[in-house]
């Protein structure tokens, strides 16, 4: 599988030159050369020089000059007539334009025939029959060419727009996560300051470490999972200093292998929510956190007791900001590669999240 992936990447690199303008022009020239060469490659000329048509050279020159008319018809219809008439549904004007164009081509063809062919008379009906099919073929192919080109251009523009929109939305969601987190931590520091706790200084140091991570690491689309785990552990340490022994904690976050990556600040809202609503005014408060990676899948489960009758939980307008944001980010960053289940049952608030970390 890895070899196939590397081959696909190499193939994309090798054909990337086709997007260059000069490569497109060269490709068009090559295609036209093939088109004009096919009739002569398929025709078997007589070996006997005495049986050769005296007008053969004239026909050869006339056919190639007429072929230039088909090239002109192709690009004129693709670049001018199709967007001007077909896209605007001016069908009558389009048909009249094609009739005029074909008439002009027939006049040019008559001029070429009379000056290059000396032993045969010009027959209008036969000439129309010989030139109508290549004319209609050039028109039909040019229409298809223009529509496919415009469709690809539109899809490319749409993809770029969606990518920019997603990037802006993710930046917005991430910017909402950080202030919400800071609000909670500063409340913790305020509580320690009021208590004049000896833990204030190490708490501020921990906060500076977290700030450094948030400022210098989270601008990337992906960060090492182990760095995110260190960040979570630091945050949990801050919360332990605040709650002391009032809450029963069970933390089982296993280290991750060095190659795993994850979107930054993705798991912290769940932990913030657990400490915010699973500690105050909760009887037998308890928070359980487990996280491990098995077979490229991150398994994250966090449980906390909550008081369903706590009115402060319903009045807090900021509650759920982090959860709503992380759910939105999961949909944007891991479509069809994650499973999130949030339940409230028997006084427990449970979050179960699985993410496929395979690159």
What is the tens place of the pLDDT at every residue in 186-195?
A: 887 887 788 7
> Where does a domain end: 129, 158, 187?
158
Residues 230 and 135 in one domain: no
CATH code assigned at 314: 3.30.565.10
Give the C-alpha separation, 102 to 108, whole Å: 10
Residue 225 lies in a domain: yes
Rounded-to-10 torsion of CA 185, 190, 193, 195: -100
If one counts every other C-beta atom within 10 angstroms of the C-beta of residue 315, the result is 8
What is the tens place of the pLDDT at every residue in 223-255?
A: 899 999 998 998 888 788 767 778 899 999 999
Residues 213 and 142 in one domain: no
> Where does a domain end: 103, 131, 158?
158
> What is the pLDDT at residue 260?
92
Give the C-alpha separation, 352 to 302, whole Å: 7
Above 60 in pLDDT, residue 146? yes
Please enumerate in sequence order all residues whose Cβ is within 8 A of that of 276, keeping only pairs 6 or more positions apart, or say none: 184, 319
Total domain count, the chain: 2
Residues 201 and 113 in one domain: no
What is the tens place of the pLDDT at every residue in 54-85?
A: 556 767 777 778 878 888 889 899 899 999 99
Residues 125 and 201 in one domain: no
Residues 339 and 246 in one domain: yes
Residues 203 and 134 in one domain: no
CA 72 to chain centre: 37
Residues 145 and 232 in one domain: no
Q: What is the β-pairing status of strands 348-356 and 297-305? A: antiparallel
Residues 151 and 70 in one domain: yes
355: closest CA among 262, 289, 259, 290?
262
Residues 259 and 352 in one domain: yes
334: tokens are 């891991």
What is the tens place of the pLDDT at every residue in 342-358?
A: 999 888 999 999 999 98
Element (H, E) at 356: strand 348-356
What is the tens place of the pLDDT at every residue in 148-171?
A: 888 888 888 777 756 655 665 555
357 by Cβ neighbours in 10 Å (0-12 / 13-18 / 19+) ranks as: buried
Residues 253 and 127 in one domain: no
Domain hosting 111: range is: 2-45+53-158
> What is the pLDDT at residue 53?
57
Residue 163 lies in a domain: no
314: tokens are 């319903």
Residue 171 lies in a domain: no
Residue 183 lies in a domain: no
Residues 207 and 154 in one domain: no
Average pLDDT on 202-218 reads 78
Are 18 and 27 spatial neighbours (Cβ–Cβ below 8 Å)?
yes
Place of tokens 């022009």: 25
What is the tens place of the pLDDT at every residue in 107-131?
A: 988 888 888 877 778 788 888 888 8
> Where does a domain end: 158, 189, 218?
158
């Amino acid at each position: 599988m890895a070899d196939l992936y590397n081959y696909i990447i190499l193939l994309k690199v090798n054909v990337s030159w086709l997007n260059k303008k000069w490569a497109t022009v060269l490709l068009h020239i090559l295609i036209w050369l093939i088109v004009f060469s096919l009739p002569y490659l398929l025709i078997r000329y007589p070996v006997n020089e005495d049986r050769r048509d005296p007008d053969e050279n004239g026909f050869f020159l006339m056919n190639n000059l007429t072929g230039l008319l088909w090239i002109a018809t192709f690009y004129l219809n693709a670049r001018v007539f199709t967007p001007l008439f077909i896209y605007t549904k001016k069908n009558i004007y389009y048909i009249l334009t094609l009739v005029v164009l074909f008439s002009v081509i027939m006049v040019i063809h008559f001029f070429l025939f009379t000056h290059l062919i000396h032993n045969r008379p010009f027959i209008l009906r036969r000439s129309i029959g010989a030139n109508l099919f290549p004319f209609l073929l050039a028109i039909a192919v040019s229409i298809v060419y223009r529509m496919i080109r415009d469709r690809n251009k539109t899809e490319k523009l749409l993809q770029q727009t969606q990518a920019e929109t997603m990037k802006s939305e993710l930046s917005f969601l991430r910017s909402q996560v950080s202030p919400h987190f800071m609000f909670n931590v500063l409340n913790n520091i305020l509580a320690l300051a009021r208590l004049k706790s000896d833990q204030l200084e190490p708490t501020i140091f921990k906060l500076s470490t977290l700030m450094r991570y948030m400022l210098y690491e989270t601008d990337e689309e992906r960060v090492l999972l182990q760095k995110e785990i260190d960040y979570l552990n630091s945050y949990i340490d801050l919360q332990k200093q605040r709650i002391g022994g009032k809450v029963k904690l069970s933390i089982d976050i296993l280290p991750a292998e060095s190659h795993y990556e994850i979107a930054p600040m993705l798991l912290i809202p769940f932990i913030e929510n657990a400490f915010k609503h699973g500690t105050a005014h909760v009887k037998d408060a308890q928070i359980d956190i487990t996280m491990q990676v098995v077979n490229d899948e991150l398994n994250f489960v966090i449980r906390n007791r909550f008081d369903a009758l706590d009115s402060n939980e319903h009045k807090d307008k900021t509650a759920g900001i982090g959860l709503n944001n992380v759910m939105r980010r999961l949909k944007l960053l891991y479509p069809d590669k994650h499973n999130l289940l949030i339940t409230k049952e028997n006084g427990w608030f449970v979050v179960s999240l699985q993410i496929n970390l395979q690159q």
